[in-house]
Structure 1
């Protein structure tokens, strides 16, 4: 009997850890739609998570001191687990409108990240409160048994809940989100917490005890975790927010549209901020200005081998490959699951046979394959409206210069001298390519826009050094001093 009870307690601890961290991964992923995903944002949310867990352990220790019987400790554990389930259910309902309100009222994604961390931290604190209570239950229940002591119980419970947390933080992004989606994953996490609350309550009722059991002692637990399940089911059924096609590294949002009179489709990782690619089915061409410029430049340079750093919808490489079947096109994107989504939902056709897709970090791949040589390179990697900053350091651009003859880059910025974020990218381009650095803006506008950079005289461009909006005194962005990250993380300027 002792082993059976211990196994039930370990299952409860495992489920609590799994659901708690799984829900945090859910929160981080869905928050990325509004505030992006970066080391700083993830770090802030994880910090709030750890604070919540610490508070829960502390408070659970206080509650366990007041639990004088095994049944009392278990019922209390079931109660806080029920509160954890319903708190997370409420947080999921509140999260999206809260993020929308916060991002419209503040320029700092860090503040929004703190809000998300606090919102879900309540449920995490309740969940971790259960661990000391279950430890107290074991100590009280088997205090006269050989080999049973509080220290051993505490160590075992913390170890198992940590294993659950590890499973939640790894299985969720790698398997659950890509294969069953955000909403189904959320339902699984809330159900796990509800089930652990039920196990605690059921075990409390069934254990042998001289203490009389009252209906009021356990009905509250049942009502709370049942309410959590009902609220979660209602949220999933009524939620109309597009959570995109989930992959291990992010989510892609696809929308049908029109390009003139032709049916087209767009894809993005940040809906409402930017579109990564646009594709016209009838013409088999991309329908973005920067894509058209890139295709024109490729026609001008006539390369045999091309590499695209960043795949997105692969509109530009697909157009190039379709109309130039003898060209060898390589696309490097960190999202290994991208081709399946592109073929099924974006192109709605197989990727061209002369396109080789490499699921890897672009800079990392080229660093490991320094011998790789291409006639033409297009850097087109973004996180929302911000470039992948590791591709624009002086070191990275110098490396790419050795990998390819002709290089273009698509950035989003504001061509004004006082806009530090844009000027940092321009300054790095000028530093690396010098007199061969060219720039092309759209219609001469000084508003937020796509800006094309080249290391050759690409169509319609001018020398970067001669551009009126270029600030030659702007500090550079390096691996040691990642200035672009500082602009983004500290929200010095908002694109």
Structure 2
């Protein structure tokens, strides 16, 4: 086999492994969510596969003619790549959960085998190209460089282009087809008999993958999105992102709020914000539940900072959002886009951005909240939705962070949450004016308690504020 063809094979195989590693995050998301733990589990699983594959490929190359191995290995890796989404879709619903063990198991089921098989390519190629110990170092170095270049290519193309423009299943089809075709080209005379079975196997695997129902209504660049009808309320719609209910919208009554945290958020705003029309900024749009509620009840303007460009269109198409001069949506990371908002321009800023159950860490820090405070009027308030469970390390750290930035602060949650007996949504408030907790408690659902001042400080006592150089949000959040 010509050396240039061997170089292409090594480049493509390495690129394919990284494409699969990146797309694995999106394929696993409907079952285990998206978090630092998710990507840690995927990266660790693929690295283990690379190590095993490199070891196994070297052993095979020493025991068998490497010319007879390269084609079958590429074909096998391609078939496994195509099968990976179907395997995850079949097994995923039976292993729900977000714990590290579940993440690793599902990553192993879907992606260990193709990554391991494709990682056999480089040592087999090395055995093919080394014909003298005098040049062994150069051959190994060249193949390592080519493989690394392929991995970089796969990383950049997938992360910057494919994920944003192509659903995950077709990405695996493209990878699989390229590998199978390249494998057939690389088949030696000794293994020519695999060509017809490989074509038949490819047809079967592609067909099975195509008919497997996708878990998403929409596969956005950032999540698997589904819209469901509330069986108990004909006009109710639920927006689910990955494993997490993101928004509830009543298509006929924009003032209807179904979730506890939304009712508590509204109670804080009713108590602290000025009467009449409001200028609001939202960090995270989701289903646009609160923006349309305030447009219906108070008027004014809503500026939504949303990372996922697909959510606005989903809200229009499936959740009844009617745009108008009152609504501005800015697509991009809120840490950056908030800097373009006018200083002293908003009565209320609402923090409701999530990646799974976690608030993105860079939207939790003193530095970010300082930017938020600068956008508020001299009577403005910041209301933030968080989710945590005992021992509530993150919720208390975020309250400490808000207290570092705002002169007045409060936390609103059921007593059992504040006592660290149970967990769920905590609504945290930072204000430029004093907070009347009794007025908030009069408006919130029964059982909600509002702590401010010394009482709130006692709740987060001993917990340091989050800062850009140390904000381990994913590790601090406890899950049920």
TM-score of the aligned structures, taking structure 1 as reference length: 0.78
Structure 2 CA distance for partners of 1:303 and 1:293, relative to 1, 3 Å? farther
Tell me which residue corresponds to 2:34: 37
Tell me which residue corresponds to 1:210: none
Tell me which residue corresponds to 2:302: 329
* 1:79 equivalenced with 2:72 (yes/no): yes
Look up the SS of the partner of 2:119 in the other structure.
helix
Q: What whole-Å deviation, never above 9, does each CA across 1:202-255 have from its counterpart, x for those lacking one?
A: xx23xxxxxxx5xxx333465356425523431431x33513422333332222
Aligned mates of 1:375, 1:366 — CA distance in 2 = 15
Look up the SS of the partner of 1:365 in the other structure.
helix
Tell me which residue corresponds to 1:115: 105
Look up the SS of the partner of 1:385 in the other structure.
coil
Task: Give the gaps of 5 or more residues in structure 1.
Answer: 206-212
Structure 2 CA distance for partners of 1:40 and 1:411, relative to 1, 3 Å? closer
Aligned mates of 1:339, 1:173 — CA distance in 2 = 22
- Offset, 1:156: 4.8
- Offset, 1:264: 2.5
* 1:179 equivalenced with 2:171 (yes/no): no
- Offset, 1:379: 0.6
Aligned mates of 1:466, 1:228 — CA distance in 2 = 67
Structure 2 CA distance for partners of 1:242 and 1:443, relative to 1, 3 Å? farther
Question: Is the CA contact 1:427–1:474 (under 8 Å) kept in the aligned structure 2?
Answer: no
Q: What whole-Å deviation, never above 9, does each CA across 1:273-321 have from its counterpart, x for those lacking one?
A: x321122222244533333444565555345421101111222113334
Look up the SS of the partner of 1:387 in the other structure.
coil
Tell me which residue corresponds to 1:390: 362
User: Which residues in structure 2 correspond to 1:49-64 (within 5 Å)?
Assistant: 49-64=46-61
Q: Tell me how many residue pairs correspond in the alignment.
A: 454
Look up the SS of the partner of 2:228 in the other structure.
strand
Match for residue 230 of structure 1 among 194, 204, 207: 204
Tell me which residue corresponds to 2:148: 162
Look up the SS of the partner of 1:351 in the other structure.
coil
Aligned mates of 1:251, 1:393 — CA distance in 2 = 27
Question: Is the CA contact 1:476–1:483 (under 8 Å) kept in the aligned structure 2?
Answer: no
Match for residue 25 of structure 2 among 24, 28, 33: 28
User: Which residues in structure 2 correspond to 1:248-397 (within 5 Å)?
Assistant: 248-257=221-230, 260=233, 262-271=234-243, 274-285=244-255, 287-289=257-259, 290-295=261-266, 298=269, 300-301=273-274, 302=276, 304-321=278-295, 327-347=300-320, 349-366=321-338, 371=343, 373-397=345-369
Structure 2 CA distance for partners of 1:45 and 1:250, relative to 1, 3 Å? same
Tell me which residue corresponds to 1:48: 45
Question: Is the CA contact 1:80–1:127 (under 8 Å) kept in the aligned structure 2?
Answer: yes
Q: What whole-Å deviation, never above 9, does each CA across 1:34-81 have from its counterpart, x for those lacking one?
A: 3332334324422432343344334434444455xxxx4332111222
Tell me which residue corresponds to 2:121: 130
Task: Give the gaps of 5 or more residues in structure 2.
Answer: none
Structure 2 CA distance for partners of 1:65 and 1:483, relative to 1, 3 Å? closer
